[in-house]
Amino acid sequence: MDFEYVGPVTDVAKGTALQVEVDGVEVAVVHADDDNFYAVRDECSHASVALSEGEVDGCTLECWLHGSRFDLRTGEPSGPPAIDSVAVYPVEIRDGDIYVSTTPSNGVEP
């Protein structure tokens, strides 16, 4: 599995998301309330808006436009209006730096 460097962990404060590009795909890197880092496709599956502009709540990321919440671990929406999952990418932290896989872990195409 290939991983790309996206930046230092200090670039993503706890409870926030940062838009990065991984292998040509826009990805939201999230520092969740559980103190882990997650990466999901940075586009709501319901409306084509950036999830990185939404609110982090626990291990979910809320779309700012219509309020759909996506589980950062699985990519699954917690309820309407979104019904389709978003791609989830494995994250590794190496020596204080964030690396994101170029291959989704949940089988959802970017």
- How confident is the model over 85-104, as pLDDT tens digits? 999 999 999 999 999 999 99
Joined tokens for residue 41 = 């496709």
Q: How far apart are CA 34 and CA 31, in angstroms?
A: 8
64 inside domain: yes
Full residue range of the structural domain in which residue 27 is found: 4-100
62 inside domain: yes
pLDDT of 108 > 90? The answer is: no
Domains: count for the chain = 1
- pTM to 2 decimal places: 0.94
Q: How far apart are CA 45 and CA 83, in angstroms?
A: 8
18 inside domain: yes
105 inside domain: no
DSSP 77: B
We report the CATH number of the domain holding residue 17 as 2.102.10.10
- How confident is the model over 25-80, as pLDDT tens digits? 999 999 999 999 999 999 999 988 999 999 999 999 999 998 999 999 999 999 88
